[in-house]
Amino acid sequence: MTIEKPVGRSAAEDELKVGAPKVWAAGVPGVTHSMIPALTGMGVGRAAKGLLAMNQKDGFDCMSCAWEDPTERKTFEFCENGAKALTWEATPLTVPTSFWSEHSIDDLLTKDEYWLGMQGRLVEPVYKPAGKSHYQPIGWDDAFALIAKKLNSLDSPDEAAFYTSGRTPNETAFVYQLFARAFGTNNLPDCSNMCHESTGTAMSEVIGVGKATIVYSDFEKADLIIIMGQNPGTNHPRMLTVLEEAKRAGAEIVAVNPLLEAGLIRYKNPQKVGGIIGRGTGIADQYLQIRLGGDMALMQAISKRVLDAEDANPGTVLDHDFLEKHCEGLAEFREHLADLDEEAVLTATGLTSAEIDELAARYVKADKVIITWAMGLTQHKRAVPTIKEIINLLLLRGNMGKPGAGASPIRGHSNVQGDRTMGIWEKMPPAFLDALQREFGFDPPREEGVDAVNGIRAMRDGRIKVWFALGGNLVGAISDTGVSEDAIQQLELSVQVSTKLNRSHAVIGEEALILPTMGRSEIDIQADGEQFVSVEDTVAAVHASYPKLTPVAPNLLSEVSIVTRLARAVLDDKYGIDWAGFERNYDTIRDRIARVVPGFDDYNRKVRQDDGFMLPHGPRDSRTFPTPTGKAIITVNDLEALTVPPGRLLLQTVRSHDQFNTTTYSLNDRYRGVKKGRHVVFVNADDLSELGFADGDIVDIHSEFADGVDRVAKRFRIISYPTAKGCAAAYFPEANVLVPLDATAEGSNTPASKSVVVRFERAG
């Protein structure tokens, strides 16, 4: 059986241009590549009003990432990708009614993500009836009635699932999960299932909280910052300013990444003279180009060196007081690492002992250490134990619960963490469900629902018949493209709430609806006046987001309006929940959140403070750990190195610089030297020579898994690139076809998209 990626190309192969990768990020190009599209895409007035309000205390929260805001805001408190995200969302270009008669579903299926997104904002609900080939306009009331009829006809509420994108604000997320549970299901998959689920799983098990243990100001207090499996220059560029500030305060920085990334080499701050005409700031003092999947071995090797240093100089390396008072499992951990095989470590990491020794020496020397990571660590089979090993290393020297130290997972979506806090999870703990029952007078379902991967399996098997997606692009984000698309097309009804077109509007059920919604930047007027929403960033800080721009069309509804009107249509007055009141005034939602969600007491007052408020966090605030024993758990994890047969490489999926998750802003990747194309694969020059290929060759990429299915991404241009030997990289969603649905992280069920065994074959 062969599965191929079905998406068409945006540009002919002869249009693709490849140059040398950059060795610094931002600077003047960062300004021009953000401002010119903003001015041309939105107009001067709309662009200025939007950009100057982004991430300000009286403005709206950027939709492009969950990076935390500083207490002292700058005038231009946005990055290149933030400006692009606003331009993408706030464009006055809209999809005309004629579009739907001109483009059939089959035609949309031939288009790629870039083309679909470039058609403009969605401004009217549309419906594809069963047996028809086109969407057609439909009124809002008729759309809600249609969904209600279908949902209420199901044999079980569990035949429906309610997916969520991490851009959904707290207020919408709360009423959305309330509706799903009042309807009778815990089928609440979300985008976190595909990114940081491994982080939450690991950290919850060992320290009792699945969130970062630092705050924004800790970076400038750190002695050492270890950046693993992430590319700040593209994915959260505002982090570069914080790293620059940390370097100037004396911190050392170590980058651990198979690919050389410009933002981790040097940063030219465009808001400073030195960043415009000078060399900028060097970021990484040490750059470890680790083999894919080798991070767990590296962490164990560093921990063993720390323990050896303690044995050589007893009482001088480990934080014995912290370990005795707050941790358990040290003796077992010591015993386990005593037999760590150095050769196995070197094979797994692709590093030398000298490189590992250097990092270990930096760690032992530093009093305050932050380890920060992203999806480069979370999307492996052994992602959960890898993150547990990060926590092990931090605990050994008490690098948790003190200024300048801690664990710092960096979330990608702007409110993915807040959505989970609000109850968007298929397995919320009993305490949350009990609080929901006390507040609203009904007993929520207690059975575990489906996550994203299990949702696809349930669609494939006919167990889920209705899929309602509040934002996002599941089709583009999920693994095993062919299998997943076939599963989604088995649905009886698919519903997508969106601002712009993406592939999830073309890969649909027998019936399908698109419901257009306002963006976060657009003013939301309800019966009781102008409304605002709130979000939680990656360090558990909650703050208000005040929209500033006029909506691009009068017929758009806010996400809150869509959810509450849907709830009224489906549930009527069941349980006496005042859905209409929620829509009139979002303060009423926050009042209910305050009585259900821990840490949100007095929500309406606290969220109106200039800087919002921090949620309580035991490990960070008081070195208290809400685990079963009340202590942080140092864990024992068996090292399993990935085996790669001769003639094969390990491939990871990555995103380009002009990309936000599956949204493609352009066909360029400036920092990696790619223009006008995305069907490329980055390969180490030595590997190319050994495999008999050369830079510029066109190949088909085949993945190899035990299920025997031949998954292939066809006609990719090889680019010789400074990546770790034995490793390769290609963009998602184009390479998602290579990852089997069942290839997931142990314990979190996150797609293992960062360690795919592949072979190349010359394209015909």
Joined tokens for residue 408: 């710092």
Complete DSSP assignment for 11-55: S-GGG-EE-PPPSSEEHHHHHHHHHHHHHHHH-HHHHHHHHHHTT
Neighbouring-strand partners of residue 713: 701
From 380, 476, 411, 455, select the one nearest 109 (Cα to Cα): 476
pLDDT of residue 3: 52
Residues of the chain with pLDDT under 50: 5-10
pLDDT of residue 61: 81
> What span, in angstroms and rounded, lies between the C-alpha atoms of 557 and 555?
7
pLDDT of residue 728: 98
pLDDT of residue 8: 41
> What span, in angstroms and rounded, lies between the C-alpha atoms of 649 and 729?
10
> Contact at 8 Å (CB) between 55 and 81?
no
From 77, 91, 135, select the one nearest 109 (Cα to Cα): 135
Q: Where are the beta strands (DSSP E) in 129-257?
A: 136-137, 160-164, 224-228, 252-256
Pairing of strands 327-328, 632-633: parallel
> Contact at 8 Å (CB) between 750 and 379?
yes
pLDDT of residue 273: 61
Instruction: Give the type of residue at 275.
Output: G
Distance of CA 503 to the CA centre of its chain: 18
DSSP 732: T
Burial of 698: CB neighbours in 10 Å, binned 0-12, 13-18, 19+? middle
Name the H helices within 413-480.
416-421, 430-440, 452-460, 474-477
Joined tokens for residue 300: 């164990």
- Answer whether the bond into residue 733 is a cis peptide, omega within 30°: yes
Q: What is the 3-state secondary structure (H, E, C) of 480-541?
A: CHHHHHHHHCCCCEEEEEECECCHHHCCCCCEEEEEEECCCCECEEECCEEECEEEECCCCE
pLDDT digits (tens, 9 = 90+) for 647-682: 999 999 999 998 888 888 889 999 999 999 999 999
3-state DSSP assignment of residue 468: strand
Neighbouring-strand partners of residue 327: 632
pLDDT digits (tens, 9 = 90+) for 34-60: 777 777 778 888 878 888 887 788 888
Joined tokens for residue 559: 């996400």
Distance of CA 12 to the CA centre of its chain: 30
> What span, in angstroms and rounded, lies between the C-alpha atoms of 300 and 210?
21
pTM: 0.95
CA distances to 77, 228, 292, 744 from 378, rounded to whole Å, are 29, 11, 12, 10
Q: Tokens 């993945």 identify what position? A: 703
Complete DSSP assignment for 608-631: TSTT-EEPP-HHHHTS---STTSS
Orientation angle between helical segments 27-42 and 80-90, nearest 10 degrees: 10
Distance of CA 145 to the CA centre of its chain: 33
> What span, in angstroms and rounded, lies between the C-alpha atoms of 58 and 56?
5
Give residues with Cβ within 8 angstroms of 436, minimum separation 6.
Answer: 178, 181, 423, 444, 596
Burial of 347: CB neighbours in 10 Å, binned 0-12, 13-18, 19+? middle
> Contact at 8 Å (CB) between 744 and 371?
no
* Residues in the chain, overall count: 764
353: left (phi over 0), alpha (psi -120 to 50) or beta: alpha
> What span, in angstroms and rounded, lies between the C-alpha atoms of 580 and 582?
5
pLDDT of residue 274: 67
3-state DSSP assignment of residue 457: helix
DSSP 674: E
